[in-house]
Amino acid sequence: MNDSKILGYQPGNSFIHALNATTKMIFLILVSVACMVTYDTRFLIAICILSLILLKIAGIRWKQVSFIVKFIIVFAIINILAVFIFQPTYGESLYHSRTVLINAGYFTLTAQELFYLLNVSLKYICSIPLVLLFLLTTNPSQFAASLNKIGVSYKVSYAVSLALRYIPNIQESYWSISAAQQARGNELSKKASLGKRIHGTLNIVTPLIFSSLDRIDTISTAMQLRRFGSKKKRTWYVAEKFSLADYLVTSLAFILVLVVILLFKVNSGRFYNPFV
């Protein structure tokens, strides 16, 4: 199996890999929430650039994320089109002005609506790289140990660790079943029609669900036999202490949140309005 197709933890020696897992989680949550709340284009562009730079620093290759990125791009385009179709005048009401670019009756495109849709698109570009960074650079065991260290129940921490470990397992099973289907003559590549590919994907999902349920039952039984959860506390083989870099990155996350709060006051709300 080609590891470039598997979206999961990939060991590395970058600065981001060396950060504490809890630090990365705090940064992801705070910055993502800040990006979702604000519509200040300047802030969103800055976070987009920062996110792409972090991807480069982490050494993440396009092959590792191409599948999920293409899927999210399709979803984002559908979402943006739906926003425009159902309320093409929403930008006008937000920015209190109207500059017509294309006159087409109900579907008249204005500069204000286009600017609003640009901000929506930037939100995706801000969040996606951060999520991918977290998934690809975070060791599940270290993350579970870090969560438990800050007060999260070790049962919850262990469940999160298992979920992160299971993501690449599900993908590996999907590609294995897909290869088996194609070996039997069921074409699922780009050469096949869209309908045939959808039908083939459904044929893969069914055995994938049953195999996943079987794995869950096996893991649950093994954990019960080892009396998992019988004690109030547990020790961790893998644990990390906060370093200076962790404190600096966490501080940066809080600073970015403060910047968003400041922009609320500057813009008198969530929206940056360049049309005034």
Count of residues in the chain:
276
Distance CA(205)–CA(158), nearest Å, equals: 26
pTM of the model: 0.76
Q: Among candidates 88, 37, 98, 45, which has minimal Cα distance to 267?
A: 37
Average pLDDT score over residue span 202-229? 72
121 token code pair: 């698109």
Contacts (Cβ under 8 Å, ≥6 apart) of 57: 14, 15, 16
| Predicted local confidence at residue 259, as pLDDT | 94
Nearest to 160 by CA among 5, 14, 21, 17: 21
For residue range 122-164, what is the model confidence (pLDDT) as tens digits?
988 888 888 888 888 888 777 777 777 777 777 777 777 777 7
Mention every residue, 6+ apart, whose C-beta is less than 8 A from residue 60.
10, 132, 133, 136
* CA dihedral of residues 111, 112, 117, 122 (deg, nearest 10): 90
Question: Helices 244-267 and 41-57 meet at what angle, rounded to 10?
Answer: 160
pLDDT band of 1, cuts 50, 70, 90: very low
Backbone angles phi, psi at 39, to 5 degrees: -125, 30
Confidence check: pLDDT of 64 > 50: yes
1: three-class secondary structure by DSSP: coil
- Interatomic CA distance for residues 251 and 243, integer angstroms: 13
Give the type of residue at 222: A
Instruction: Tell me if 170 sits within 8 A of 182, measured CB to CB.
Output: no
Q: What is the pLDDT of residue 239?
A: 65
Q: Are 269 and 96 in contact (CB under 8 A)?
A: no
Residue-averaged pLDDT of the chain: 80
Average pLDDT for 163-177? 71
Q: Contacts by 201-207 with C-beta closer than 8 Å and gap 24+?
A: 204/174, 204/177, 204/178, 207/177
Task: Flag the least confident range among 20-34, 127-141, 183-197.
Answer: 183-197
What mean pLDDT is predicted for residues 207-234? 71
Specify the long-range contacts of residues 160-169, CB closer than 8 Å, at least 24 apart. 162/219, 164/8, 164/9, 164/135, 164/138, 164/140, 165/8, 165/140, 166/215, 167/7, 167/8, 167/135, 168/6, 168/7, 168/8, 168/9, 169/215
Q: Which of 115, 144, 117, 7 is nearest to 64 (CA)?
A: 7
Helix (H, G, I), strand (E, B) or coil at 103: coil
- Domain locations along the chain: 1-139+242-276, 140-237
